[in-house]
Amino acid sequence: MNFIEMFYFFYFLWALSVLFFSKATRGSDISQFEVHSLPGSPSLPTSWAGRLPVPGTQTGNDLFFWLFKTEDVAYDDDLIIWFNGGPGCSSLIGMTTGNGPLSFFGNSTDLTLNPYSWTKLGHVLYVDQPVGTGFSTASAPYPAKNNADVTAHFVQWLQSFLDLFPHLKSKKIHLMGESYAGIYIPYIASALLENNNPLSLNIQSISLGDGSWGNAAAMADVAMGTYLHTQAHQLKIPKSILSAFTAADNICGFTDTLKKAQEYPPRSKFHVPGNPENMNYRRDLSRHRRDLITAGDGSCNISPNNASGIHDSILNSTCYGPCATFSTAMDYLTTTSAAGTGPPCYDVYDISHDCSTISPPPLLGEYFSQKDVQKALHVEENGPYSACNSTILGTLLGAIPPTPPAYDILPSLVTKHNLSLHIYNGKWDMLLNHIGTELSIQNMTWRGGQGFVERPQRPFFAGNAAPVNGSSCSAGTGVWTAERGVSYHLFDGAGHSVFASKPREMFSFVRDVVVGRRVD
């Protein structure tokens, strides 16, 4: 899906006791939130939608939720909470593009039922957060200045939400999300579990899909050249360009780092040499904001289209900073795509997309801006809805100091709190590519060891995400491994949002791995 036009630049994805209900009505009056029917839609599973204030904040900060009751009583014990990323993108994107009960029919706002809806695998809660995202509202000036505010708001809000739906308090909770939710979710889980679990919740697992939870320089710059090599055919990259990336990787020391990450088990921590561009959180903070602006307005782009242009953009750009493989790759592909020599309608979120790919955000914008739809969801008078908000994106990615990468806190969630951590990636995602994800996993130490001992190479299949031996009559869906409470699945044929192109495979993954706890 091509979200690119939604943002002023894809780069930004990185950078990354006012109780409304009196005690008397708490836990009782949910009927006012019931969604009875939705315009243009087949009949829905039982659901409740609306807004609830974030306690302890100014008036006007209300988070929108849409809660679906499980369609299968066998999964009555499970509650999945889904988060989209951005930051500032609505969770209704995931809900309508392959994980929820409804999907848009083709390039229209007609809705159809999704046979692979996760509502068949548990109660599912979609929340638009932080405040101001999607149907959620925010006071002015914008109150979520950094990730700590975002986390605190969500946790405060969840408490009052669970007071309204008290039967959910005892469920097994699975926090799942993609992209920038790779930062939201670990911090939220940590806030819920540290300090003696103030809400006494039973959080069983977290799942991070194509998530920005690692060291940003490692996930972007270190891995980029190698990723281009593996996808050179799809991306129409000639040998001379690949060689220029290889030469730069050698000069920047990335080749060494990657080599260490290829050893299973790894022998030591991986160092990211130098001080590469693109949100290396260790570097000079005064550059952080400046870089966001220059990357956002395209002023560092020298439109490289030959080997010497690649070399100059990676190594000699005073604008991007040293070793700018990520931005250079983006600039190269947008240049060749526009010139007609590269992939047509190049999409960093899924390199298999072309000009016939439908972009969901405009469809969401059109549908959820309809007055009758808003009335059905109890958000009358919302005004136009938009799937992503660039003000929120800019605020959180530009926060000083930047949010530290979440890989610092993941090990404690797994080791101390016994959470299952599921990491997955789509192979066609170039924004947060799988090589960077694998590198980041191998650099992490949990339950007494660093990384996986075994390389992820066991195949899995749609309909059965657990170990199955290769068989000639069934095409594999990807490879996986799991050790000491952490699993990793790499999906073939999928981009940044795995369920968007592989809803059946993703459904099996959620059923067998996340909710079924088949790997550990």
Ligand X SMILES: *[C@@H]1O[C@H](CO)[C@@H](O)[C@H](O)[C@H]1NC(C)=O
CA 10 – CA 89 distance, rounded (Å): 13
Residue 110 bears catalytic tag? no
x/- track of binding to ligand X for residues 445-484 (CB under 6 A): ------------------------x---------------
Q: Which of 78, 221, 350, 429 is catalytic?
A: 429
Q: At closest approach, how far in Å is the CB of 15 from ligand X?
A: 17
Catalytic residue among 47, 90, 179, 501: 179
User: Phi then psi for 495, rounded to 5 degrees?
Assistant: -105, -145
Looking at the Cβ atoms of 220 and 228, the one nearer to ligand X is 220
Alpha-helical runs (H) found in 398-513: 410-415, 434-442, 498-501, 503-509
Q: Is 243 in the site for ligand X (CB under 6 A)?
A: no
C-beta closer to ligand X: residue 309 or 402? 309
Q: How far is the CB of 306 from ligand X (least distance, A)?
A: 4
Q: CB under 6 A: which stretch of 117-125, 166-174, 338-346, 388-396 binds ligand X?
A: 388-396
Q: Which is nearer to ligand X, 221 or 429 (CB)?
A: 221
Stretch that binds ligand X, among 4-12, 94-102, 235-243, 386-394 (CB under 6 A): 386-394
- Between 34 and 354, CB nearer to ligand X: 354
Among 317, 334, 440, 497, binds ligand X (CB under 6 A): 440
336 binds ligand X (CB under 6 A): no
Output the six-digit token pair for 352.
């298999």
Total residues in contact with ligand X, by rule CB under 6 A: 31
Q: Least distance to ligand X from the beta carbon of 501, Å?
A: 15
Annotated catalytic, 179? Answer: yes
d(CA 50, CA 411): 35
* Best CA proximity match to 47, nearest among 70, 79, 17: 70
- Which string of x and - marks every residue 303-322 that binds ligand X (by CB under 6 A)? --xx-xx-----xx------
Cα–Cα nearest to 100, from 503, 511, 379: 503
Per-residue H/E/C for 56-96: CCCCCCEEEEEEECCCCHHHCCEEEEEECCCCCECCHHHHH
Part in contact with ligand X (CB under 6 A); list of ranges 117-125, 186-194, 214-222, 338-346? 214-222
Please identify, among the stretches 147-155, 157-165, 286-294, 385-393, the one whose residues bind ligand X according to the rule CB under 6 A. Answer: 385-393
Distant-in-sequence, close-in-space partners of 298: CB < 8 Å, separation ≥ 6: 9
SS3 120: helix
Token digits of residue 328: 């250079």
What is the C-alpha radius of gyration for the chain, rounded to an integer number of angstroms?
A: 22
Q: What is the C-alpha separation between 467 and 457, in angstroms, rounded?
A: 11
Choose the binding region for ligand X from 17-25, 302-310, 454-462, 488-496 (rule: CB under 6 A). Answer: 302-310
Collect all residues with Cβ–Cβ distance below 8 Å to 49 and sequence separation of at least 6: 33, 35, 64, 65, 66, 67, 377, 378, 379
Candidates 13, 295, 392, 486: give the one binding ligand X (CB under 6 A): 392
Asked whether the beta carbons of 131 and 153 are under 8 A apart, the reply is yes
Question: In 3D, which of 271, 239, 227 has the Cα closest to residue 253?
Answer: 271
190 given a catalytic annotation: no
Q: How far is the CB of 494 from ligand X (least distance, A)?
A: 19
Positions marked active-site = 179, 429, 496
In the complex, the residues that contact ligand X under the rule CB under 6 A are: 107, 132, 138, 142, 214-215, 218, 251, 269-270, 272, 305-306, 308-309, 315-316, 356, 358, 386, 389, 391-392, 418, 420, 439-440, 443, 469, 517, 520
